[in-house]
Amino acid sequence: MHACFLAALLSLTSVASGDSYLVLLDRAADPSFRAAAEVLAARHRAAIEPFGAEDLESVTSVVRAAAPRHLAIVVDPRTLDLDFAQRMLVALKDVDDDPFVDVAFAYVTGRDGAAAERLARKPDALRARATRRAHLFGSWEGPVLPPSAPLTALKALGFTGGSSFVLAADEAPKRTAAARAALAEMRGADALLFFSHGYPDRMEHCLAAGDLAEASTQLDAGVLINCACWNGVTGRWWMEGPQGAVEQAPVAAGNSIALALLDADIGAYVAGLDPWHGPLAMRYAFHLADEGCTIAEAAKETFDRLVLDFAPQPLVLEAPADRSARREGVANRRRNAASIVVFGDPAWAPLERGATHRISARRVTPAAGGQSIRLSVLPLIKGGAPGVDFMVPQGRLIDYHSVRTEDWAAETRLEIYRSIPWDASWGVPELTVRSARVGSRDLQLGAIQVLLEQSPLGDRLHVRVPIDERAFGSNVVLEMVQSGAQVELDVQAGESTSGVSAE
């Protein structure tokens, strides 16, 4: 179904009142959570439908009948765990026959109904004041803090702002003071990027849920993207041990860093229910900042990429209790991608104003005739050598799913992946390389993957171009972010088939 369209082709990143929208309300939630559902329903002139976590097949049926572009799921925080999130993802990809997730969705919750309502209302206060200011914050594991340097990737994405770090080697009181000073500095930013190791109750060596509560912190910020492990957990969670995933005691509402951050007056939150998803979190940041997506469209783009990793088979996710021991490789990478959740009004596009479109895809007609698809990457840093925010463009270009064994350093690859509006009657085309360049040099490519997505809201062609760094003989990701890249693919007519992968 619908993914984030390039604004130059079709402006769907801001959803006006009356656009297709549906609100689901968890029957298990306290009645006070209904206020959040009513805020969202009133803003988008949408219906509210009750649902139960034990019966997500009924959710599939409701969404199939309503065919919304955006779906808000108002849940009790104890409902939203990894098992539920994975089952919901599968339920929402079963709305039609193609393998893609069929609606852009996000969750709305809080430590209580009042906190959920504040989250639902927050975009109204933020829409008129966007300043394109960002802040990078996290723990630093080196012996000393990094030298102050410009944030070259965020600058290329049109942001001003800065960075703050907590030195992991410092004593706890000093770390707490540094974290609180950083929180004060970032107040009012449009985008916050958090990173560290983590657990459900803390960003390791950096920030704990209690620190936020004791400081009565009000960030008054836009979207917060957090790559720390388990920092999206609001209740039940699992940790991998020698025998597989082991269920842990639920994190108490007062100790959940996710609920503490949601209570800190932010408009949207992106975080994981599982460990290790740093590059994926940075991909969310790029989708939002570069493409101007709504928060739920950024999630759908990431889930769509996960679908490609399963193609031509459908997306299948194992229950946490059935998981074997965590090891690097394909199973781990797939469940990481499925474990990130987005909190907030799904139709809110927090960074639409000033979206830069530095990675794009479009159909073109070459001078020699025929049809081509042109994938373009403009330089992804601005102002010299990469700064400490290099993780943002690197995460956007990494093929996170290419690691199949424990040898992640040798196996990690790059890719350019985009989708474009497409008429299903044109079929799934055969794509051949006309040209591929990074800077002034030829770019070596792997086998191109193509998948057609059909829906009443618009057909799209998903195109993934793997990059063979081994043939390049240098740090190709550095060259790409500094010089940009362009790939032009000739289009040959294909069969008109839904959800078929050509590779």
Which residue, among 488, 463, 458, has the nearest Cα to 9 in the 3D structure? 458
Residues 249, 255: Cα–Cα separation, whole Å: 12
Torsion 254-255-260-262 (CA) sign:
negative
Compute the residue count for the chain: 503
pLDDT value for 472: 62
Q: Is 267 in the same domain as 336?
A: yes
pLDDT value for 2: 36
Q: Is 172 in the same domain as 141?
A: yes
Domain assignment present for 75: no
Question: Which amino acid is present at 82?
Answer: L
Q: Give the residue from 300, 315, 343 where a domain finishes.
A: 343
Domain assignment present for 34: no
SS3 145: coil
DSSP H stretches of helix in 67-133: 82-93, 113-126
Number of domains into which the chain is organized: 2
Residues 490, 370: Cα–Cα separation, whole Å: 8
Q: Is 480 in the same domain as 404?
A: yes
Q: Is 283 in the same domain as 312?
A: yes
Tokens of 279: 């590059």
Tokens of 90: 């599968």
Which residue, among 187, 115, 193, has the nearest Cα to 153 in the 3D structure? 193
- CA dihedral of 195, 200, 204, 210, whole degrees rounded to 10: 110
> Please, what is the end-to-end C-alpha distance for the chain in angstroms?
21
Domain assignment present for 262: yes
CATH code: domain of residue 146: 3.40.50
Domain assignment present for 285: yes
pLDDT value for 406: 82
Domain assignment present for 223: yes
Question: Which amino acid is present at 106?
Answer: A
Tokens of 358: 């530095």
Instruction: Return phi, psi of residue 491, to 5°.
Output: -105, 125
Q: Is 449 in the same domain as 364?
A: yes
What is the pTM assigned to this prediction? 0.93
Question: Which amino acid is present at 389?
Answer: D
Residues 486, 482: Cα–Cα separation, whole Å: 13
Q: Is 230 in the same domain as 256?
A: yes
Which residue, among 80, 81, 84, 103, has the nearest Cα to 23 in the 3D structure? 103
Q: Give the residue from 343, 374, 408 where a domain finishes.
A: 343
Question: Which amino acid is present at 110?
Answer: G
Q: Give the residue from 282, 308, 343 where a domain finishes.
A: 343
Domain assignment present for 177: yes
Please give the chain's pLDDT, 503 residues, in tens.
Answer: 433 433 223 222 333 333 699 999 999 999 999 999 999 999 999 999 999 999 999 999 999 999 999 999 999 999 999 999 999 999 999 999 889 999 999 999 999 999 999 999 999 999 888 789 999 999 999 888 888 778 999 999 999 999 999 999 999 999 999 999 999 999 999 999 999 999 999 999 999 998 887 655 689 999 999 999 999 999 999 998 777 889 999 999 999 999 999 999 999 999 999 987 889 999 999 999 999 999 999 999 999 999 999 999 999 998 998 887 767 788 888 989 999 999 999 999 999 999 999 999 999 987 777 889 999 999 999 988 899 999 999 999 999 999 888 888 788 899 999 999 999 988 899 999 999 999 888 998 999 999 999 877 789 999 999 998 776 656 888 889 999 999 999 998 765 444 444 44
Q: Is 363 in the same domain as 328?
A: no
Tokens of 424: 């299903």
Which residue, among 142, 126, 22, has the nearest Cα to 72 in the 3D structure? 22
Under 8 Å CB-to-CB from 272, ≥6 apart: which residues? 226, 227, 229, 230, 231, 232, 280, 281, 336, 339, 340, 341
Domain assignment present for 226: yes
Range of the domain at 290: 130-343
- The widest CA-to-CA distance across the chain, in whole angstroms, is 67
Q: Is 268 in the same domain as 396?
A: no
Residues 227, 277: Cα–Cα separation, whole Å: 6
CA-to-CA dists, residue 111 to 116, 180, 398, angstroms: 7, 22, 35
Domain assignment present for 161: yes
Q: Is 224 in the same domain as 261?
A: yes
pLDDT value for 347: 97
b (16+ CB within 10 A) / e for 345-381: bbbbbbbbeebbebbbbeeeeeeeeeebbbbbbbbbb
Q: Is 284 in the same domain as 402?
A: no
SS3 108: strand
Q: Is 392 in the same domain as 443?
A: yes
Residues 416, 52: Cα–Cα separation, whole Å: 39
Q: Is 251 in the same domain as 333?
A: yes
